[in-house]
Chain A
Amino acid sequence: MSEVIKVGMADLNYANSPDTIRTSGLGSCVGVIIYDEKVSTCGMAHIMLPHSSLARNGDIHRPKYADTAVEDLIENLVKRGSPEYRLRAKMAGGAQMFQFASTNEVMRIGPRNVESVREILKSYHIRIISEDVGGNSGRTIEFNPKTTVLEIRTINQGIRRI
């Protein structure tokens, strides 16, 4: 029996085939998946903010920020026996849910999250195989580590697979 492993907001988790991993209601948040196809394993994070330097108090909840979440995903996958060179990534999210006349930095958080994930993955030389980012729709995503297909559901555009 396969299970669907859930990842909450500002959280991360891991899945091995035949299980799949899922996170719901990504708005400006970004869902990033790092996987090792060879052993059908993956980790997923639901990131809210682009950088841990934004935290206003001392204790940083690491899965919330792009830099610390991606770091943890990579480190843990390596610990579980997947060498860095075999890791690949996919991501989705980073939408702008509300359209405003003003261009406040908080309103641009979606694109900033995406940019930040790209940068940190690049620093680890991990390739982004596919992505579905931006726009203004909420997304629910599910990743299957066996097929490495990322399924993206939106309310208006139905289901996409990347």
Chain B
Amino acid sequence: MSYIDRIQPAHLDILKEIGNIGAGHAATSLSKLLNRTIDMEVPSVKIVHFNDISDFVGGQEETVAAIFLRIMGDAPGNMFFLVPIQEATKLIQQLTGDLSITYTTLETNEMGVSALCEMGNILAGSYLTALSDFTKLNLQPTPPAMAIDMAMAVLSHGLLELSQAGDYAIVIDTKIQEKDELNTAQTKGHFFLLPDPPSFEAIFHSLGVTVNE
């Protein structure tokens, strides 16, 4: 029986709480970094088929800036911070103070790319630290890598581990957003946490929950 079949609604709630704690800390970090109020949405935890995974960010061919980290330690997995290209450009402008960066020059702007990578590092770091404190698991991120490309093409990279065990992924998605003057929410980005199949047991076990065979 696949690990996915053994996941119960209660387990999904736990994963939701993990998204909550992790992204909550990350949103606070981003707030401090930009000196603005950043909110987060209630995380969604879904079991999705690989083909539908890019729906979270607007479709398979949507251009996104993706920061990818591999999580090492007690519960290995993959983490993405995905930002729509227009938002990535705005973030970089705010971080570097260089307003001449546009989304066509973004990828070739070394300073901008480095700033975005570093931001991803800080956000992922605070996400994982919170998660690690909560579960008492030892989790370390690898240095971040960045790509600006089609959502499906970058996400598929994070599915390779999972794809050897099935065609579905458990995605812990947390959207962070900023409200503008008119109080409409602007999506800043998505945190995707994609634990490797054996990591679910480690996560649940650390919180005293069992997965029945």
Chain A contacts to B: CB under 8 angstroms: 8-11, 24-29, 48-49, 54-57, 61, 64, 95, 97-102, 106, 109, 136-140, 155-156
Contact = CB atoms under 8 A, between A and B. Distances in A.
A97 B163 contact: no
B166 to A, nearest CB: 7
Contacts of B60: 24-25, 140
Interface of B: 2, 50-51, 54, 60-61, 63, 68, 107, 142-143, 145-157, 159-161, 163-167
Contacts of B161: 106
B149 A138 contact: yes
What 8 A-B pairs come out closest when comparing CB atoms? A25-B152, A138-B153, A27-B153, A98-B145, A138-B150, A8-B51, A138-B149, A24-B60
B157 A98 contact: yes
Given A27-B157, A57-B166, A97-B147, A140 B2 contact: no
Contacts, number: 94
Contact of A155 (B54, B63, B155): B63
B157 A24 contact: no
B165 A9 contact: no
B153 A64 contact: no
Contact of A64 (B143, B155, B167): B167
B147 A48 contact: no
Contacts of B147: 97-98, 136
